[in-house]
Structure 1
Amino acid sequence: MNTEENRVVSFKEVLPLLPLRGMIVFPFMVIPLDVGRDKSISALEEAMVQERLIVLAAQRHAKINDPEPDDIYTMGTIAEVKQLLKLPDGTIRVLVEGIRRAQIVSFVQSDPHYRVQLAEVAEADEKNVEVEALMRSTLYQFEQLIKLSKKIPPEVLTSVSNIEDPGRLADIISSHLNLKIEEKQDILEAVSAKSRLETLCTFLVKEIDILEMERKIHLRVRKQMEKTQKEYYLREQIKAIQKELGDGDERAAEVEELRSRLAELNLPSEAEEKALKEIDRLSKMPPMAAEAVVVRNYIDWILSLPWNTLTEDSLDVKGAEKVLNEDHYGLEKVKERILEYLAVCQLTNQLKGPILCLVGPPGVGKTSLAKSVARALNRKFVRFSLGGVRDEAEIRGHRRTYVGALPGKIIQIMKQAGTKNPVILLDEIDKMSADFRGDPASALLEVLDPEQNCAFGDHYLEVTFDLSQVLFITTANTFHGIPRPLLDRMEVIHISGYTEEEKLEIAKRHLIPKQLKEHGLTEQSVLFHEKFIRQLIAGYTRESGVRNLEREIATVCRKTALEIVQSSRNTIRLNKLHLQKFLGIPKYRHSLAENADQVGVATGLAWTEVGGDILLVEVSLVKGKGQLILTGKLGEVMRESAHAAYSYIRSRVKELGIPEDFHERYDLHIHVPEGAIPKDGPSAGITIATALASALTEQPIRKDVAMTGEITLRGRVLPIGGLKEKILAAHRGGIKKILVPKENEKDLEEIPANILRKVELVLVESMDEVWREALIPKIQVASVS
């Protein structure tokens, strides 16, 4: 036989086949097997009849119960059946010993069991220096494996060390390894002893690396467990010592309670780590230490915040519309914008978006709108007034180094709400101020920025808090007080004043039922007629909102309650006499329009923080040296408008028919009544120019005409703001015709249709158009006189 290479010797022996599931039998290996499949039992019975020889070959997939020839590896082992024992359950326990490798050439029988034609695999004696080195390396690796693994008995190494045949050494070591079926099959199919040892060495190195890693992991886990057990043991000792000394029981119980509360909250990792650190500090502090109180308060704040508590949103747009209509009358565009916002939130299933800013005069329902949004969404509602806030720490909190430090108002509100997604109303955002303690408006930038507030940092907490699921709504009376960077982060919704018709409906639907209930009255005991309510609105209130109207209705209800008690009457029908009896004479005239056309008196329209108002401009012409006198506590902008109007009049002396040297012979006194009230704005230019033209030409100005607009030196009429508020004020004042800049035509769609039907709007582009509509020609004046 050639010693340089292996050779395959064919012989005609046919043996029964026993397929193995999940295991491989190597030559020289003695192992018990439990056989239960019918084909396998039949193969064993034939082997016992013959020479006790059987072929053992592994299945490629252990789950197959009835393997086909393709499911069985072709390299197997010829084994001798040493013992055979039939068990009561029908299975057979057999002891086999591997003899030599064999190659399956073909399957000659499949029923009742497999019989296969074999080709014996003979191995050449390859023992040389390289093979000797491989044997020593394999033995060394096997020795290291036995040291790391406790599954292989040390006696195995002694028995293996005495084997001199390299092939047998490889087979016996392989039989003791916990390898995969594919890996063991690779060793079995390695016919050459050299290649078998090389493959075995590779698997041994890999297995040793795995065992080394398992050992390191085990040591690390054991060390951690020992540390935990040690800490537990020491804590128990501390408890025992404190118990013997009679102190510390309350502190230990308190610390354990804090730990259990923390474990239940499932805080973010950053907050949990910080809280654990502070609890450990608290456990080591003496009970009477001053810092212990600070740490205890800090831990209470951390544990009381709603880190994961959420209320389930109700994103039903129809339901929200119903709620808004129940709570508010009118404000159609405002409601539409809020419903659009909620509809987008319903489709995206989230409320991350722009911050809503409700801008409008007092008493128009900005705060109640925010409450209605919270009710429509089924969310908690919290209000925080920013009026007068001038310290940055009010928003971001104080650092814990200060005595009496507290979190900022935002964190306090979140604790008060008890949920992570409330509706927070930041009221009067235009009333904030700044001083040496910081700028709170700048601190609000992070709160109201949807891209940043997911990690809001409070100075007291020292950990970030997620505000991204909070719905912020802000309110303001004017734009002017809101810093531009803050305004840029908000979506503004304008809320203008109410018309008389809207006030009437609001009073009937909301204000009167509310006040009747608060004063213990019923709708049957006090009858509010529509005419009574209209007289109350026209004679006793003049505002954009309905706050004063509600106050006057409350006064009427108090007086009525007193009269019912004193007179023992069951029902009172309110009329004009009751109105004067309860509230006195009317505070306001029904109409503010002048009773007669006058020279030098023009009716202008102004915008204020509480809505629109009527503004009279008076001009008096007296002999003098051409001075222009301005009174009425006018601001710088109105003074500039007056000078521009005066210059324009001087440039039009020929068209107006006035002397060219009037400015040298007469003084012009421009006065705006109610001198104690500051007045400013860029919309009085055409009003002043009309009053000047009337005084110089002695042409009266129509009593039922009001105007608004800025003037240029060339007589152009420039657009203005607050048009809706001004038109509402003119309507309340009984004005029939309003002159509006042509460029404000786009703003007319905001005016209620019922108001447009009652007043005449004239769009003007130049002063000539204004004078044509406002001034009465001298010919008409003469004919009338």
Structure 2
Amino acid sequence: MAEENKARPEIQELPLLPLRGIIVFPYMVVHLDVGRERSVNAIEEAMAQDRIIFLATQKEAQTDQPDRDDIFQIGAIAEIKQLLKLPGGTIRILVEGLARASIDDFLEMDPFIRVRVREHRESETKTAAVEALMRSLINQFEQYVKLSKKIPPETFVSVVAVEDPSRLADVISSHLTLKTPDKQRILEALDIEERLGILTEVLAKEMEILELERKINSRVRKQMEKTQKEYYLREQIKAIQKELGEKEDRQAEGEELREKIAKAKLPKEMEEKALREVERLEKMPPMVAEATVVRNYLDWVLALPWAKQTKDRLDIEKAEQILNDEHFGLDKVKERIIEYLAIRKLAQKMKGPIICFGGPPGVGKTSLARSIARALERKFVRLSLGGVRDEAEIRGHRRTYVGAMPGRIIQGMRTAGTKNPVFLLDEIDKMSNDFRGDPSSALLEVLDPEQNSTFSDHFIESPFDLSKVLFITTANAIHNIPRPLLDRMEVIYIPGYTEEEKVHIAIDHLVPKQIKEHGLKPEQVQISENTVRRVIREYTREAGVRNLEREIAALCRKSARAIVKDPNKKVSISSGNLPTYLGIPRYRYGLAEEESQVGVATGLAWTETGGDTLAIEVALLPGKGGLSLTGKLGDVMKESAHAGMTYVRSRAKELGIPENFYQTTDIHIHVPEGAIPKDGPSAGITMATALTSALTKRPVRREVAMTGEITLRGRALPVGGIKEKMLAAHRAGCTTVILPAENKKDLEDVPANIKKKLRFVLVDHMDQVIKEALLEPEQSTEPEPPETIPATLEQGSMNVYPEVLGDTPQN
């Protein structure tokens, strides 16, 4: 080769073949496919001469028509050994690199590139440094061949036999899989020592990469082998079980649970947790106690309605019809539900409100919640909170406990099967607390619209969305509900039913219901409207209709007994023969007192079961001015009695009472039904009126009932529960009601038919009460009721007529 180099001139003019993505080194033999027109012309020119051509690589492989700046300056002089023309105008040539050369000048660019090149002759002297680099390079190449697995061992044998350092470097470079810039860098290293050093550096880097590849491949191969081994073993187990007619229970259970989890549409966090529990379950021995806990947990998680919900019926007219058909009256409640439906129709993402129905027992709070669920076409769930005193009843137990269960909220959601049911929390005022926690505090998260979207149950251990639930709570006494809990709820109070409303409810709902439940037919039993009215007046005294339903059920039982004896008999129950079925009347309907009496006044009180009348009696005895209070009175009523006593003493002269009466007379104030506790601020003016009547010997009008508190100076203060008290006055047969003037606004809630039957007297001062309630001493007979007086009441005046509202009652 050295002789050939000497035979070639150092400077030559040769056709240039630009290469894309490949570099040809001296001593390298390679096939090249040529298709570009200029490149084909260059090959034809070379073949026409002495088959010598210059090969240089393009800087960018994508360039189709390279210019002089697009080609590296240093390339290789090569000889074309073979030429083969392929279909499509492409030429395949076999070339062998002869020597390095650099471009001195571009002589022409068309029809092919002709360049003047200068050949670089290698020095034949071998220094000690070059010898050392050669040995190091051979050792590295040996390691590279072992790691690469792409170079056959015989190639390494042929490389080791090369003694020329330049040829050794070029031969090794031609066998390496390097990027174009690295190969060009080696090609451009004209100094042999520099070239060997660069090649050593590049080879070391390549070996490091190959070592990393080997480690990665080894790790992947081990994992694949493990997976394949497990798969193979599982398939063997399946085959064995198939032959034996068995199936591995744990594996089948795990697969089944995974399928259920995939179908359940759990939140991402809950799904990951459930899958981890399935993995734990598969690894546990079947008889371990904890496996039962995990199975129970997964059953609860999969049974909850994480994504399932029903579509609301937003037909307002249909909902209104359902509410009216199933409940008589209750206009405010129905209006609130219709408003909710209207908003749901406009705003799809409205949070579920928390509504609290307050009122006495038997007014239909629970049945109203069922009707709301029917109107919305939602599932209905009821949870009774009466007597609940353990926080775990609401939040559930942690899974560390034996027999742990979710709280009753989560249990209710599972029962509903949807995430947007109507959820009734019944008797929320009956909860209590003890050493096991405060359940009312746990309910704060449930009933707070800002928190219940992430309700956390101790058993489930993952947030559950309650924001779509329509929560409805019921309570008999609002004041028994803790204030923070009451703050979360919108209270709608249902005070009770009037007599007319009870009659409608009985005729339309209760009578048909009880006839059906007792196996009777409508034509077999006839209960007239007058019969129902007498049952209401003389056999029940309540705000709701629960006792009324019991009495109707009693009528149906006795009718069923008669019909069983004589199947052809038809029972007709009238107001005349009613006592033969229900016995003697329990209550007296009519005036609270049959005649006007001295020292006896009728008051009105609010109780948890609705309004009620309260007879207050005063007796005078010779003595030293002692004041006795009986009837199991609370502190408020005792204070009211003392305030009334002070007022009477301060007005003794104007009332015609001896001014020293408190020194010579013992006074006994008694409220009948002594076994029943009584308290509240409603009896102040009633006690003062009864006390004044006893001391002045003036009877209290029998048709008058009153309510209101009194100050030491005789001012009448407003009280609550006006609607319930008016209903009680109407039930008791009173026709005139005295109440504080400031309670005038509360009369708007009183039903219109009750207003027509009652006469309301609004007072500011106790003097007005006495003028209205007490008969004059000389009156031997009771006067006609006073005519209605225009509302010309002067605030604070003590000698004017009180304001009178309402028509003259019609008995």
TM-score (norm 2): 0.72
State the partner residue of 2:310.
313
Residue 582 of structure 1 is matched in structure 2 by 581
Match of 2:592 in 1: 593
For 1:746 and 1:203, the matched residues in 2 are separated by 99
> Matches of 1:749 and 1:143 in 2, distance apart?
106
Question: Are the equivalent residues in 2 in contact too, given 1:17–1:43 (CA < 8 A)?
Answer: no
* Aligned partners of 2:310 and 2:418 also within 8 Å: no
Residue of structure 1 in register with 2:462 after alignment: 464
- Residues 141, 616 of structure 1: alpha-carbon distance in 2 compared, 3 angstrom cutoff: farther
Residues of 1 paired with 2:736 and 2:119: CA distance?
120
Deviation per residue, 1:67-101 (Å, 9 max, x gap): 9999xx956899999755656xx796856879999
**How much is the aligned-residue C-alpha RMSD, in angstroms?**
5.6
1:469-488 → structure 2 map (5 Å cutoff): 469=467, 470-488=469-487
What pairs up with 1:171-182 in 2 under 5 angstroms? 176-177=177-178
| 1:34–1:92 Cα contact (<8 Å) kept | yes
Instruction: Tell me whether 204-213 or 518-527 shows the greater mean CA deviation.
Output: 204-213
Aligned to 2:260: 264
1:389 aligns with 2:391: no
Matched residues in 1 for 2:139 and 2:714: separation?
108
Alpha-carbon displacement from aligned partner over 1:121-158 (angstroms, at most 9, x marks no partner): 9999999xxx9999999999999998887778899999
Q: Secondary structure at the match of 2:284?
A: helix
Give the match for residue 680 of structure 1: 679
- Once the two structures are overlaid, the 10-residue window that deviates more, 186-195 or 48-57, is 186-195
Structure 1's unaligned 5+ residue stretches are 1-10, 62-66, 110-114
Aligned with 1:725: secondary structure? helix
Partner of 2:689: 690
Single out whichever of 564-573 and 297-306 deviates more from structure 2.
564-573
Q: CA 1:256 to 1:661, structure 2 compared with 1: closer, same or farther past 3 Å?
A: same
Superposition map of 1:633-652 within 5 A: 633-652=632-651
Alpha-carbon spacing, 1:373–1:186, altered in 2? closer, same or farther (3 Å)? farther
Cα distance change on mapping 1:654 and 1:59 into 2, 3 Å: farther
Q: 1:420 to 1:185 in 2, by over 3 A?
A: farther
Give yes or no for contact 2:619–2:669 (8 Å, CA) kept in 1: yes
- Code of the residue aligned with 1:464 in structure 2: it is S
For residues 411-455 of structure 1, what are the alpha-carbon distances to aligned partners after superposition, in whole Å with 9 as ceiling and x for unaligned? 444444445554433322222233344443344444444555556
Asked whether 1:304 is paired with 2:300, we answer: yes
Cα distance in 1 for partners of 2:448, 2:325 equals 32
Cα distance in structure 2, aligned partners of 1:508 and 1:102? 117
Cα displacement (A) at 1:693:
1.9
SS for the counterpart of 1:480 is helix
**How far apart are 1:276 and its partner, in Å?**
3.6
Q: Contact between 1:315 and 1:346, CA under 8 Å: does it hold in 2?
A: no
Aligned partners of 2:335 and 2:592: how far apart in 1?
A: 35
Question: Is the 8 Å Cα contact of residues 329 and 506 (structure 1) preserved in structure 2?
Answer: yes
- Corresponding residue SS for 1:576: coil
Distance 1:508 1:203 in 2: 103
User: Which amino acid is 1:722 matched to?
Assistant: G
* Cα distance change of structure 1 residues 391 and 44 upon mapping to structure 2, 3 Å threshold: same
Name the counterpart of 2:276: 273
Distance in 1 (alpha carbons) for counterparts of 2:29 and 2:510: 100
**Partner residue in 2 for 1:4:** none
Structure 1 counterpart of 2:716, one-letter code: V
Distance verdict in 2 for CA 1:365–1:26, change over 3 Å? farther
Q: How does 1:423-462 map to 2 (within 5 A)?
A: 423-453=422-452, 461=459
Contact preservation (8 Å) 1:74, 1:103: no
Tell me which residue corresponds to 1:764: 763
2:625 maps to a residue whose letter is: G
Count of residues paired in the alignment: 739
**Counterpart contact for 1:26–1:175, Cα < 8 Å:** no
Structure 1 counterpart SS, 2:760: strand
How far 1:273 moved relative to its partner? 2.8
Aligned residue for 1:624? Answer: 623
| Cα drift, residue 584 of structure 1 | 3.3
Equivalent AA in structure 2 for residue 273 of structure 1: R
Q: Deviation at 1:663?
A: 0.8
Matches within 5 A, 1:380-779: 380-398=379-397, 404-453=403-452, 461=459, 463-464=461-462, 466-469=464-467, 470-564=469-563, 566-569=565-568, 574-778=573-777
SS of residue paired to 2:315: helix
Question: Take 2:141 and 2:740, find their aligned partners in 1: how far apart are those partners?
Answer: 100
* Cα distance between partner residues in 2 of 1:141 and 1:746: 105
Task: Classify 1:555/1:207 alpha carbon distance in 2 versus 1 (closer, same or farther; 3 Å).
Answer: farther
Using a 3 Å threshold, how does the CA distance of structure 1 residues 733 and 102 change in structure 2: closer, same or farther?
Answer: farther
CA distance 1:74–1:241, change in 2 (3 Å): closer
C-alpha distance in structure 2 between counterparts of 1:120 and 1:668, whole Å:
142
Counterpart residue type for residue 308 of structure 2:
T
Taking the TM superposition and a 5 Å limit, the aligned residue runs for 1:161-240 are 176-177=177-178
Q: Tell me the SS of whatever aligns to 1:387.
A: coil
Conserved 8 A contact 2:385-2:431? yes
Deviation at 1:664, TM superposition (A): 1.0
Whole-angstrom CA distance in 2 between matches of 1:308 and 1:156? 70
> Per-residue CA shift, 1:655-712, capped at 9, x if unaligned?
3232211111112221112222211112211221222222222333333332222222
CA contact (8 A) 1:187 1:196 kept: no
> Structure 1 residues 312 and 376, CA, compared in 2 at 3 Å: closer, same or farther?
farther
CA distance in 2, matches of 1:12, 1:76: 17
Contact 2:618/2:691 (8 A) holds in 1 = yes
Q: Of the two, which has the highest radius of gyration?
A: 2
Residues 345-364 of structure 1 mapped to structure 2, 5 A cutoff: 349-350=348-349, 352-353=351-352, 355-364=354-363
1:367 corresponds in structure 2 to 366
Query: Contact 1:75 / 1:104 at 8 angstroms: preserved in 2?
Result: no
SS in 2 for 1:176: coil
CA contact (8 A) 1:603 1:706 kept: yes
**Whole-Å Cα distance in 1 between the matches of residues 734 and 199 of structure 2?**
107
Change in Cα spacing, 1:164 to 1:609, as seen in structure 2 (3 Å) is farther
Which secondary structure does the structure 2 equivalent of 1:362 belong to?
Answer: coil
Structure 1: how far apart are the matches of 2:315 and 2:669?
56
Indicate if the aligned counterparts of 1:454 and 1:468 stay in contact, CA closer than 8 A: yes
CA distance in 2 between partners of 1:405 and 1:205 (Å): 64
CA distance in 1, matches of 2:206, 2:236: 44
Judge which range, 529-538 or 201-210, deviates more: 201-210
Instruction: Supply the distance in 1 between the matched residues of 2:508 and 2:61 (Cα, whole angstroms).
Output: 84
Q: State how far apart, in whole Å, the 1-side matches of 2:613 and 2:565 are.
A: 43
**Structure 2 equivalent of residue 8 of structure 1:** none
User: For the residues of structure 2 that align with 1:204 and 1:674, how far apart are their CA atoms?
Assistant: 111
Say which is worse superposed, 560-569 or 640-649, in terms of deviation: 560-569
Structure 2, unaligned runs of 5 or more: 1-11, 48-52, 124-129, 263-269, 785-811
For residues 702-759 of structure 1, the C-alpha deviation after alignment (integer angstroms, 9 at most, x for no partner) is: 3333222222223233332222222222233333333333444444443333433433
Report the Cα distance in structure 1 between the residues aligned to 2:661 and 2:119, rounded to whole angstroms. 135
Alignment partners' CA distance in 1, 2:533 and 2:281: 65
CA contact (8 A) 1:75 1:102 kept: no
Deviation at 1:534, TM superposition (A): 3.1
CA shift digits 1:245-299 (9 cap, x unpaired): x9xx89x51464156315532543334434543553344xxx4xxxx34641442
Q: SS of the residue aligned with 1:514?
A: helix
Q: Please give the per-residue CA displacement for 1:619-666, whole angstroms capped at 9, x wherever unaligned.
A: 222322111111112122211221122122222223323221111111
Mapped partners of 1:738, 1:132: distance in 2: 128
